Amino acid sequence: MAGSGPPVVLVHGMVNSSAHWRQVAQRLADRYTVIAPDLVGHGDSATPRGDYSLGAHAAVIRDLLSALGIERATMVGHSLGGGVAMVYFWQFPHRVERLALVSSGGLGRDVSPLLRSAAMPGASAAIAAAAHERVTAAGARAGRELRRRGVGLGVQLQAIARALSPLSGPGAREAFVQTLRAVIDRHGQRVGALDRLYLLDGVPTLIAWGERDRTIPIEHGLAAHRAVPGSRFVTFPEAAHFPHLEVPDALAAALRELLESTEPAALDEAAWRERLLGRSAAPRRRHAVAA
């Protein structure tokens, strides 16, 4: 946690942690209370046997915010965290003031071959080899050298090395595999939100993407932008899949613009019911007339 003011929750992606949000959090903490949790099975959180679905992660965040006395917040999610943030909204719409999706999962089937292969049987052994201390140290060194030379791939290599380091232990690897398989299989992403994005109508929404993203295609973000009435779409030419690490100033500025130029949504149960019925009432009326 950092800062004071209206709460902003930053939800990290798969095999990432709250540390990945540090630079963005520091840039928002002058006016906002920033909360960046480690999802269960990630970072410094425990790695229990149990439910690693998007809904389970969203429920844990709800419990965390309740324990902190935070009733409503702006939700920001990167990659897997974008899926968690969306499910959080579906489950607890009255607790969400705004939504920001950064290179988000859950908006289409396509995903990198690396993630698809990691969801296959036997992946744990390959992950164990990749997470070996010598391998991650070499990746971190290569990333630093590439960044020194001005090569954008360096940030991604450092992020991957940082993410793989905690997976050296069997508990963390199992948590990663369970989280991955909850959303990805050999065909791509298993969970999609496109048919529910209409529910974000009236909720200030930002969709942000790195133009060089090869993990999740930028076309997913464009499709979501078209599906969410009034949403904002921002791209970062120099960023790939980790804008919060690659261009933290630009991402923080986009988030600040969303926060400062919009009024928070305030959905109650009646408004949520009306929103749901607005999409489904017409077919029911036709059925009733026919009957």
Which residues are registered as beta bridge partners of 189? 184
* Active-site annotation holds for 51: no
User: Is 17 annotated in the active site?
Assistant: no
**Which residues touch 224 (CB under 8 Å, ≥6 apart)?**
101, 104, 107, 193, 194, 197, 207, 231
20 and 12 Cβ atoms separated by less than 8 Å: yes
Question: Order of strands, edge to edge, in the sheet holding 33-35?
Answer: 33-35, 7-11, 73-78, 96-102, 205-210, 232-236
Distance, CA of 276 to chain centre = 24
**Catalytic, out of 20, 165, 213, 244:** 213
Catalytic residue among 79, 103, 165, 231: 79
Using DSSP, state whether 208 is helix, strand or coil.
Answer: strand
Q: Look up 110 and say whether it is catalytic.
A: no
What 8-state DSSP symbol labels residue 26? H
Catalytic residues: 79, 213, 241
